[in-house]
Structure 1
Amino acid sequence: MYCVTVIYPRAEDGHFDFDYYRNQHIPHILKLLGDNVQRVELRRGLQAVDGTPAPFHCLLNTHILSAEQFQSVMAANADWVANDIPRYTNLQPIIQIDEIL
């Protein structure tokens, strides 16, 4: 099994619309990925352990069965994904695919 991790680093001039991301963007992505998705976890960064603002606005973990299928779907829908990002943030996401051990 694999986990796609998407994080949005906090920036001084950054904004993030959780309502749009949670209610529009993620459901569309999940529909595209279909049965490949096993579990999704969305987290909003609140604070670091020292009480300062969290280093990330948002963290998304999507557990999938096939990294290849994920990459294929994302490549086929790259324009839609890129065009949708400005609807909820001006931040550049960091994305990685992890193997769950």
Structure 2
Amino acid sequence: MATKIQSLLLISIIAALTGCKTSQLKPSAATEVGMFKVTILYANGEDKTFDMDYYEKKHMPMVAGFIGKNLKFYEIDKGISGRTPNDKVPFVAIGYFYITDVAEYNKAIGQNRDAIISDFKNYTNIQPTIQISEVKQVGHVDAK
């Protein structure tokens, strides 16, 4: 009887492992050539303030909602140091929106400009610098 239970258990484990579809999981958001990247830079400086928690949980999701289906994904960087650990961080935060259509992005932002700008006071006193770039190359290094 014990051998029969062990056999059934072994068969169940094998079935469970072979039934897993980990190889069919979709890859996480990835940058692709031809996409556009909107970079929002918040420069550090004397008397500059930035509420990262609000930016992460409220502002960026709000703007992402305005962009809609044109948005592939977004990222947020929190500055931790300059070139060396002792150097002052040049940007307290950098936000990125990865989009497929610049004209659609500009339209969405233009239609919601007042809401976006009026929300700044809730997380920063920094006037952001914005750059829109085209992704020209994406490189990957094979770890060996």
Q: TM bucket by the smaller chain?
A: over 0.9
Match for residue 57 of structure 1 among 65, 87, 92: 92
Query: 1:1-101 alignment to 2 at 5 Å?
Result: 1-50=35-84, 51-101=86-136
Answer 1 or 2: which has greater strand percent: 1
Deviation at residue 53 of structure 1 after TM alignment: 1.6
Residue 25 of structure 2: aligned partner: none
Q: TM-score, normalised by structure 1?
A: 0.96
Deviation at residue 97 of structure 1 after TM alignment: 0.7
Deviation at residue 92 of structure 1 after TM alignment: 0.5
- Structure 2 counterpart of 1:57, which letter? V
Residue 20 of structure 2: aligned partner: none
Deviation at residue 100 of structure 1 after TM alignment: 0.7
Q: Provide, for residues 51-71 of structure 1, a one-character-per-residue CA deviation record: whole Å limited to 9, x for no partner.
A: 212100001111100111110
Deviation at residue 80 of structure 1 after TM alignment: 0.6
Which sections of structure 1, spanning at least 5 residues, go unmatched?
none
Instruction: Indicate the structure whose relative CO is greater, using CA pairs within 8 Å and at least 6 residues apart.
Output: 1
Q: TM-score, normalised by structure 2?
A: 0.68
- Give the fraction of aligned pairs with identical amino acids, expressed as a percent: 32
CA distance in 2, matches of 1:33, 1:71: 9
CA distance in 2, matches of 1:89, 1:83: 11
CA distance in 1, matches of 2:108, 2:131: 15
Moved over 4 A (4+): none
Which sections of structure 2, spanning at least 5 residues, go unmatched?
1-34, 137-144
- How many corresponding residue pairs? 101
